[in-house]
Chains A and B, each alone.
Chain A
Amino acid sequence: MIRFVLVRLLRAVITILAVVTFAFVVLRMSGDPAQVMLGPDVPQDALDAFRRTWGLDQPLWVQYLAYIKSIFTGDFGVSMRDKASALHLVLERVPATLQLTVPALILKLLIGIPAGVYAALHRQSFADRGVIMLAIMGFTIPSFVMGLVLVLVFSVLLGVLPSGGQNTWVHGILPTITMSIGGIGILARFSRSAMIEVMGQPYIRTASAKGLKWRDVIWSHALPTAAVPIVTIVGFMVGSLIAGAVVVESIFSWPGIGRLLVVSVSNRDLAVVQCILLVIAAAMVVSNLVVDLLYGWLDPRLRSHAAH
Chain B
Amino acid sequence: MNPLIEANDLLRIYETRRGLFGRTSPVRAVDGVSLAVVQGETLGIVGESGSGKSTLGRMLLGIDPAQAGEVRFSGRPMPKSGTAEWRALRAKMQLVYQDPLAALDRRLTITAQIGEPLEIHRMIPKEHRAARVAELMAAVGLRPDQAGRFPHELSGGQRQRAVIARALASRPKLLVCDEPVSALDVSIQAQVVNVLRDLQEQNGIAMVFISHDLKVVRNIADRVAVMYLGRIVEEASSDVIFQSPQHPYTKALVSSVPVPGKPLEGRMILQGEPPNPAERPSGCAFHPRCPLARDICRTSVPALRQIGSGRTAACHIVAGEAASIETLRRRA
A interface residues with partner B (beta carbon < 8 Å)? 1, 3-4, 295-296, 301-308
Contact = CB atoms under 8 A, between A and B. Distances in A.
A7 to B, nearest CB: 9
Contacts of B276: 307-308
B18 A308 contact: no
24 contacts: A1-B21, A3-B21, A4-B20, A4-B21, A295-B20, A296-B20, A296-B21, A301-B19, A302-B19, A302-B20, A303-B19, A303-B20, A303-B21, A304-B18, A304-B19, A304-B20, A304-B21, A304-B22, A305-B19, A306-B18, A307-B18, A307-B276, A308-B276, A308-B279
A304 B19 CA distance: 4
Nearest to B19: A304
Contacts of B19: 301-305
Contacts of B22: 304
B277 to A, nearest CB: 12
A301 B17 CA distance: 13
A305 B22 CA distance: 8
Interface range on chain B: under 10, 10 to 19, 20 to 34, or 35 or more?
Answer: under 10
Contacts of B20: 4, 295-296, 302-304
Contacts of B279: 308
Contacts of A308: 276, 279
8 smallest A-B Cβ distances: which pairs? Answer: A304-B19, A304-B22, A4-B21, A302-B20, A304-B21, A304-B18, A303-B19, A1-B21
A307 B18 CA distance: 9
Contacts of B21: 1, 3-4, 296, 303-304
Nearest to A292: B20
Contacts of A1: 21
Contacts of A303: 19-21
A38 B218 CA distance: 92
A304 B276 CA distance: 16
A9 to B, nearest CB: 14
Contacts of B18: 304, 306-307
A296 B276 CA distance: 23
Interface string B172-190: 0000000000000000000
B6 to A, nearest CB: 37
Most interface-central of B19, B22, B276, B279 (chain A CB within 10 A): B19
Contacts of A301: 19
A295 B20 CA distance: 10
Interface in B299-323: none
Interface in B1-26: 18-22
B55 to A, nearest CB: 21
A1 B276 CA distance: 23
B169 to A, nearest CB: 39
Contacts of A305: 19
Given A295-B20, A304-B18, 14 more contacts: A3-B21, A296-B20, A296-B21, A301-B19, A302-B19, A303-B19, A303-B20, A303-B21, A304-B20, A304-B22, A306-B18, A307-B276, A308-B276, A308-B279
